[in-house]
């Protein structure tokens, strides 16, 4: 476990090359059988604070599935989530490991059957799950293309969706007081947004709708980059500046095929696009990630999911 913690700086540096590391674990099988290993699932290492053996869980009154109860880890009490239940599995060998996760300003423990390994992947090896998997808690499919892995596929869990199942976002954007300046962008321009999580997209769309900001939503960095190029061509054909088509870019960090760091670097490295404000909206909170946000030239960073804070950041970066 100590070696796992010591490698965090090296993992952080992977963001400069469109790479990341995935923790692989098993949750069991649909029927709880023990004659074969369960399917592989994955979660970005950046979301893992530590891995601990299963401990006694205190069941809370009125707590329902997928919640198992609470644990006390070094003085911090946190909820324990039955991750196999969320994914429709049964652990044939029982719960043996707790994954202590930190993301979207929450700390929680995920109970799993077993932990396999940590693999280093390029985001191009990760494909959106919409056309490959029907489960609402799977956000993408990772291809482990190596001789040793034998072409295995890993289901990457949509932890934002899981967290919202446990603790739904209830914050709302405060109405703009009468007489104050409302957020306005050029007529015909849009906010170009990118996020691979269904739940995150829904929240972003609601936030932008409440702010009366037109938007174009994409599901990964590649889609966002292509859409930006398309809008730039339209602006050129019409003899207009790019800002008449795109007001700003709002991007997640973890996305299939191209992550938000890479998308931001590409935008800021282009003479045509670099004037566009870019805000990174991510569940990967912490000083290390915020330092990387600054290093790639983003204009702002806001942690998921707080609609008022997202609204405040948009008001900050959009031209008056």
4 pLDDT exceeds 50?
Answer: no
The partner residues of 190 in beta bridges, in order of sequence, read: 246
In the block, tokens 């409302």 appear at 182
How many CB atoms lie under 10 A from the CB of residue 91? 22
Q: What percent of the chain has pLDDT over 70?
A: 83
Mean pLDDT for 97-101 is 93
CB 34 within 8 Å of CB 93: yes
Query: Half-sphere exposure of residue 219, counting CA atoms within 13 Å on the CB side?
Result: 13
Mean pLDDT for 207-218 is 93
Whole-number average pLDDT of the chain: 83
Helix (H) or strand (E) holding 202: helix 198-210
CB 300 within 8 Å of CB 313: yes
CA separation for the pair 183, 212 (Å, rounded): 8
Mean pLDDT for 218-241 is 96
134 pLDDT exceeds 80?
Answer: no
Give the residue, 44 or 244, on which the prediction is more confident.
244
Peptide bond into 291 cis (omega under 30): no
CA separation for the pair 7, 275 (Å, rounded): 35
Alpha-carbon distances of 183 from 47, 190, 214, 237, 314, rounded to whole Å:
33, 12, 11, 28, 8
pLDDT value for 289:
59
Q: Which residues are CB-neighbours of 147 under 8 A, at least 6 positions away?
A: none
CB 246 within 8 Å of CB 267: no
| 3-class state of residue 42 by DSSP | strand
135 pLDDT exceeds 80?
Answer: no
CB 109 within 8 Å of CB 80: yes
Model pLDDT for residues 158-169, shown as the tens digit of each residue: 887 888 787 776
pLDDT value for 162:
85
* DSSP one-letter code for 299: S
CA separation for the pair 195, 140 (Å, rounded): 12
Structure-block tokens of residue 68: 């198992």
157 pLDDT exceeds 60?
Answer: yes
φ/ψ (deg, to 5) at 254: -85, 110
pLDDT value for 45:
86
Model pLDDT for residues 7-25, shown as the tens digit of each residue: 545 555 555 577 888 999 9
| N residues, the chain | 320
Q: What angle do CA 116, 122, 126 make, to 5 degrees?
A: 75
- In 3D, which of 295, 255, 256, 301 has the Cα closest to residue 277? 301
The partner residues of 67 in beta bridges, in order of sequence, read: 81
pLDDT value for 286:
59
pLDDT value for 13:
58
Structure-block tokens of residue 15: 């963001």
200 pLDDT exceeds 90?
Answer: no
pLDDT value for 179:
40
- In 3D, which of 115, 153, 121 has the Cα closest to residue 256? 121
**What is the radius of gyration, based on Cα positions, of the chain?**
21
37 pLDDT exceeds 90?
Answer: no
pLDDT value for 176:
46
For the ranges 190-204, 213-227, 275-289, the lowest mean pLDDT is seen at 275-289
pLDDT value for 256:
86
277 pLDDT exceeds 90?
Answer: yes
């Amino acid at each position: 476990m100590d070696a796992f913690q010591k490698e965090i700086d090296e993992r952080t540096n992977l963001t400069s090359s469109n790479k990341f590391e995935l923790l692989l674990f098993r949750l069991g099988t649909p029927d709880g059988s023990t004659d074969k290993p369960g399917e592989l699932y994955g979660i970005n290492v950046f979301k893992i604070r530590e891995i601990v053996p299963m401990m006694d869980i205190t069941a809370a009154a009125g707590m329902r599935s997928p919640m198992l109860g609470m644990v006390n880890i070094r003085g911090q009490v946190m909820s324990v989530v039955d991750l196999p239940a969320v994914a429709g599995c049964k652990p044939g060998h029982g719960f043996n490991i707790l994954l202590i996760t930190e993301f979207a300003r929450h700390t929680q423990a995920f109970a799993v059957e077993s932990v396999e390994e940590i693999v280093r992947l390029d985001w191009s090896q990760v494909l959106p799950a919409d056309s490959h998997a029907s489960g609402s808690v799977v956000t993408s499919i990772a291809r482990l293309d190596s001789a040793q892995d034998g072409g295995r596929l890993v289901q990457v869990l949509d932890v934002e969706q899981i967290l919202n199942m446990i603790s739904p976002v209830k914050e709302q954007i405060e109405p703009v007081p009468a007489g104050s300046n409302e957020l306005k962008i050029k007529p015909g321009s849009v906010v170009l947004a990118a996020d691979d999580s269904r739940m995150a997209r829904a929240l972003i769309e609601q936030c932008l709708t409440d702010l009366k900001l037109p938007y174009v939503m994409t599901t990964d960095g590649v889609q966002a980059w292509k859409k930006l190029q398309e809008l730039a061509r339209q602006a050129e054909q019409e003899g207009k500046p790019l800002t008449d088509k795109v007001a700003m870019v709002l991007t997640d960090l973890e996305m299939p095929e191209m992550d938000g760091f890479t998308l931001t670097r590409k935008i800021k490295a282009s003479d045509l696009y670099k004037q566009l404000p870019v805000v990174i909206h991510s569940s990967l909170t912490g000083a290390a990630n915020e330092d990387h946000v600054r290093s790639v030239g983003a204009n702002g960073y806001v942690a998921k999911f707080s609609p008022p804070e997202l609204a405040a950041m948009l008001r900050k970066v959009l031209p008056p």
